[in-house]
Amino acid sequence: MEKKLGVYICQGCGLQEALKTDGLEGIAAEKNIEPCRVHPILCSPEGVDLIKNDIDNEGVNTVVIAACSRRVLYDVFNFGPGLVVERVNLREGVVWSHKPIQEGEEAPPDVEDPYELIQEMAEDYLRMGIAKAQRTVPAEPYEAEINRKILVMGGGVSGLSAALEASKAGYEVTVVEKNKEVGGYAAQLRKQTPWAAPYEALQEPIIDKIIREVEAHPKIDIRTSTEVARIAGAPGMFDLTFKDPGTKSKWDVPRQLTVEEREELEKAGEEAPEAGALKLEDATPDNPASILVENPDAERFGAVVLATGWKPYKPAQGEFEHLGYGASPNVVTNVAFEEMAAAGKISRPSDGQPVQSVAFIQSPGQGSDEDFPFAAGVTSMVALKQAKYVRDDNPKAKAYIFYQHMRTLGQNEYFYKSIQDDDGIFLTKGDVVSVAGNGDGALVLEADDTLLGQRIKVNVDLVVLATGMVPTTRDEPIMNLAYRQGRGFRDLDLFDGYADSNFICFPYETRRTGIYAVGTIRRSMSIPECIEDAAGAALKAIQCIESANRGQAVHPRSGDMTYPDFYFERCTQCKRCTEECPFGALDDDVKGTPLTNPTRCRRCGICLGACPERIISFVDYSIDNIASMIKAIQVPEEDEEKPRVVILACENDAYPALDICGLNGLTYSPYVRIIPVRCLGSVNVVWIKDSLSKGLDGILMIGCKYGDDYQCHMIKGSELADIRMDKIGEALKSLALEKERVQQVEIAIDEYDKLPGIIGEFMETIEEVGPNPFKGF
């Protein structure tokens, strides 16, 4: 279909007062674009009708709106499928973030009109928007036969609660549990911390009620003594194979080889057979094509809820030696104590004698105020509960709780207060520095009590350490994914093994699209917290299925219908796209050619940035249309003393932060031109080369924070961009340009007030290195 552009210029929100409308109309005239219309308030019903009329009667199929940021009024300017809508940010990006030269203020050289620099910005942004729109085609949804069944891995309180929530919404659910019975750790408890009003006394575990409800639900299928041998496919099309626990399956770990393993095969002169030539029994971990083999016995599901729970933290040898752990059998973990209490007898392991006094330690001691590893508020509540066990079993017994942090949030505070009313339970903030035996099986605990301001000693029969809850994903690839990047999650070290892809912005979402974490594999949680968490995970799984059915991304670019397209004729099988994708969206065939899985894709564009051959594109985000925006920027001659800098701003934190600058009237250099990118990891080196070869004086890349405390929505995007800076340095060297002309900075959305200073410093650097020698070429 032939492209027909229409340009629509808004005059509201202060635009008319700051900009010359005829100058903007002239840009459209230069490009022979008709219609080009101006409206006082384009987002008003009359303004929207103006655009709709041209779509219906003038054949406009590509709409360029010069008004406010693309981050606002999205629904107002959504004209349905089959159209391209390009937003040009004149409000937040130009008028609200820049001021005219005031009377008495010294104007820059060659600037006569107080509004000249603002006008130049607006005209450049309109040129850039038109250039991108001309090279963008409408997105068409990816169509596939989507399955709506949900698999829940794990039959504990989190998994069963998630199954209930999904089934109540009308979805069929299968729960697989490796043990002979469902219930998980919750079914092994003696008592549960309060889960109903008045939240003051211990209660019977709620898990029995949940199990009865799950077993009675017609849409829930429970399979005990079952494990997942393999997960292949993609959201809406997951093919799962099951096995008996402890048995070997030919599907246990089928995967494709890593880059290193492939290189070893190539050095050895070995070649894998074509995928179609493989037999089922040939699907082994050592066969690079095994990922391509389909199991005819697999069952299909739309999404997976990962609820495999936690396991007790096992202290390393000597880790808590100062607390007597390992030296005395009478120093136990809270898990061991719960097992003892559930069995009906709290006694000293050393001699089986009933206890008269128990000390509960909430922090490691020796001057540290940190909790035990993988501990949280749940361990505080467990200590209070277990102290109550001691008193319930023997009203004459004493319980001592030493803590650095006592966390009893919300309604839990009522239980905490009820414990304080028990005169046989002593709570004190203190640093336990040592636990040692006294010769008769009892223990002597020494603590620096910060409340009394002195060291105290307590004689007890038993010491309980509040060690934490380790997510099962930390040490085991429990999903057995048939993915190019391996069986489990990558980069788990970023969150100590927890499965979330971004705990700040995207709870429940893992590093594998369509697989959602719930409960204690996300963080240490109490049973009520797990039940509440289950609703969120179930809703995420449902959202994923329905988005996949519409051919849309589910997160973080919710509703996006684009997905990567490959021009395979130029592919060199370098495997960078398959290796660098943070979400494992790409597999590859036996030759290393990428295999796309559109419903796995999160549309971050990191594959686009990774590709040295520039063969990957999205219909609205490609090497070509971003390059066309760069080329559309008007570069003044060197003698005009008007530098030009491109800012490539991540759409997730940096671009919103720049908008917030405008909302707050914070100003920055009028010589910059901002281009939003999906992620800094999507920036291809060719854009840097294009910018500099055109004569632009510098490129500033602004993205999310990365590292141990990363905030990158795409996990590794900003980090990958930083790594690629070496290649950018090579590009600069090839052009005989200074490396200072290209820089990358990190910003969080709430640090918007730092942006004017960051941009100002970069402009000072550009002034120091001088104009780009390519100006005028």
Residue ranges of the domains in the chain? Answer: 1-138, 150-254+293-310+472-549, 316-467, 565-617, 635-777
Q: Do 1-138 and 635-777 agree at the fold level? A: yes
Residue 399, pLDDT score: 97
Angstrom distance (rounded) from CA 686 to CA 739: 16
CA atoms within 13 A on the CB side of 522: 28
Least confident residue range of 460-464, 690-694, 696-700 = 690-694
How much of the chain exceeds pLDDT 70, in percent? 93
Angstrom distance (rounded) from CA 777 to CA 762: 24
Residue 488, pLDDT score: 85
731 close to 688: Cβ distance less than 8 angstroms: yes
Q: What is the pLDDT of residues 561-604, one digit of tens each?
A: 999 999 999 999 988 999 999 999 998 877 778 999 999 999 99
Q: What is the pLDDT of residues 432-487, one digit of tens each?
A: 999 998 878 799 999 998 787 889 999 999 999 999 999 999 888 888 888 888 88
Task: Give the pairing type, strands 227-232 and 310-312.
Answer: unpaired
Residue 475, pLDDT score: 82
End-to-end Cα distance, the chain? 36
Angstrom distance (rounded) from CA 106 to CA 504: 45
Q: What is the DSSP letter of 425?
A: E
> The CATH number of 316-467 is which of 3.20.20.70, 3.40.50.2300, 3.50.50.60, 3.20.20.60?
3.50.50.60
- DSSP states of 582-609: TT---EE-TT--EE--GGG-----HHHH
Q: What is the mean pLDDT of residues 162-185?
A: 97
Angstrom distance (rounded) from CA 71 to CA 89: 9
Q: What is the pLDDT of residues 199-221, one digit of tens each?
A: 999 999 999 999 999 999 999 99
Residue 637, pLDDT score: 82
Q: What is the pLDDT of residues 65-119, one digit of tens each?
A: 999 999 999 999 999 888 999 999 999 999 999 999 887 787 787 778 889 999 9
pLDDT bin (cut points 50, 70, 90) of residue 253 is very low
Angstrom distance (rounded) from CA 228 to CA 241: 6
Residue 277, pLDDT score: 39
pLDDT bin (cut points 50, 70, 90) of residue 639 is low
353: phi then psi, degrees, rounded to nearest 5:
-80, 140
pLDDT bin (cut points 50, 70, 90) of residue 732 is confident
Q: What is the mean pLDDT of residues 179-201?
A: 94
Q: What is the mean pLDDT of residues 641-659?
A: 95
Residue 672, pLDDT score: 97
Q: CATH topology for 1-138?
A: Rossmann fold (3.40.50)
Least confident residue range of 387-396, 504-513, 693-702 = 504-513
> The CATH number of 635-777 is which of 3.30.470, 1.10.357, 3.40.50, 2.70.98?
3.40.50
pLDDT bin (cut points 50, 70, 90) of residue 136 is very high
**pLDDT over 60 (residue 254):** no
How much of the chain exceeds pLDDT 90, in percent? 72
29 close to 100: Cβ distance less than 8 angstroms: no
**pLDDT over 70 (residue 642):** yes
SS3 572: coil
Q: What is the mean pLDDT of residues 357-369?
A: 90
Residue 504, pLDDT score: 73
Domain at 565-617: CATH code: 3.30.70.20
Q: Which of 185, 466, 193, 457 is nearest to 332 (CA)?
A: 466
Q: What is the mean pLDDT of residues 301-308?
A: 98
Two tokens, residue 629 = 């925006």
Residue 264, pLDDT score: 65
Residue 25, pLDDT score: 96
Question: Which has more confidence, 720 or 735?
Answer: 720
**pLDDT over 70 (residue 290):** no
The segment with the largest mean pLDDT, out of 383-392, 687-696, 712-721, is: 383-392
Q: What is the mean pLDDT of residues 166-195?
A: 96
Residue 501, pLDDT score: 77
Q: What is the mean pLDDT of residues 544-552?
A: 95
Give pTM, 2 decimals. 0.91
Residue 487, pLDDT score: 83
**pLDDT over 60 (residue 257):** no
Angstrom distance (rounded) from CA 699 to CA 692: 8
Other CB atoms closer than 10 Å to residue 727's CB: what's the count? 12
pLDDT bin (cut points 50, 70, 90) of residue 289 is low
Q: What is the mean pLDDT of residues 340-368?
A: 92
Task: Give the pairing type, strands 84-89 and 150-153.
Answer: unpaired
Residue 263, pLDDT score: 62
Angstrom distance (rounded) from CA 354 to CA 345: 8
Domain at 150-254+293-310+472-549: CATH code: 3.50.50.60
**pLDDT over 90 (residue 664):** yes
With vertex at residue 85, the alpha carbon angle to CA 568 and CA 616, rounded to the nearest 5 degrees, is 15
**pLDDT over 80 (residue 281):** no
Mean pLDDT of the chain: 90
643: phi then psi, degrees, rounded to nearest 5:
-65, 160
Angstrom distance (rounded) from CA 680 to CA 232: 30
